């Protein structure tokens, strides 16, 4: 029996594939920017604050390559992960693991706990949430659609009663299907 694609690719729609490619490209671009900041920017604003905000964006894009859809709370999960890493810095994880001489480990895990980093992670995750809501509205076609207005004759009822049908086919198709009954 021949397999079509890998396990992760089975049942994936074209939209899922496009989202994975989009998040993969964003991950690569953000990783390059983050690396350039780490190597060449030595100021008091970009590297400590913008760099920390970009870290959560990099982690988020990486996770979304694997989980392209149905991850509504992902910005929150990324924040919790980043906060845990920051708390581990408080306990000097790199030294506990015996990697204090490893420059790469000190850069990846960090070496200094700072509450300001947590604020930057939160700001980055809030930015992610705003971005995701805009994308979700755009993809699902939910912008500006109302549940039901007085005098509409219940034409938006399908949207309220069968949200899965409305999400898949769009509000116009749901109304058309209701009218044909």
Which tens digit of pLDDT belongs to each residue from 57-85?
Answer: 999 999 999 988 777 899 999 999 999 99
- Picking from 144, 139, 145, the residue whose alpha carbon sits closest to that of residue 171 is 145
* CA 33 to mean position of chain CA atoms: 18
User: Is the separation of the CB atoms in 110 and 85 below 8 Å?
Assistant: yes
In whole angstroms, what is the distance from residue 32 CA to residue 52 CA?
A: 14
- What rounded mean pLDDT belongs to the chain? 79
- Picking from 81, 32, 72, the residue whose alpha carbon sits closest to that of residue 54 is 32
The two tokens of residue 134 are 């805009």
The predicted model scores a pTM of 0.68
In whole angstroms, what is the distance from residue 176 CA to residue 172 CA?
A: 6
The CA-based angle 128-37-32, given to 5 degrees, is 70
């Amino acid at each position: 029996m021949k397999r079509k694609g890998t396990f992760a690719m089975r049942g994936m729609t074209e939209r899922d594939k496009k989202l994975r490619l989009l998040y993969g490209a964003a991950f690569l671009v953000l990783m390059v920017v983050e690396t350039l900041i780490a190597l060449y920017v030595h100021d008091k604003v970009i590297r400590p604050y913008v760099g920390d905000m970009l870290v959560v964006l990099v982690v988020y894009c990486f996770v979304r390559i694997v989980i392209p859809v149905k991850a509504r709370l992902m910005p929150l999960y990324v924040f919790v992960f980043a906060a845990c890493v920051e708390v581990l810095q408080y306990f000097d994880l790199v030294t506990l693991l015996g990697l204090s001489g490893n420059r790469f480990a000190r850069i990846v895990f960090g070496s200094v706990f700072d509450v300001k980093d947590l604020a930057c992670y939160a700001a980055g995750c809030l930015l992610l949430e705003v971005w995701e809501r805009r994308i979700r509205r755009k993809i699902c076609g939910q912008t500006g659609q109302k549940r039901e207005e007085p005098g509409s004759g219940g034409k938006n009822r399908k949207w309220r009663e069968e949200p899965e049908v409305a999400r898949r086919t769009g509000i116009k198709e749901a109304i058309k299907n209701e009218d044909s009954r």
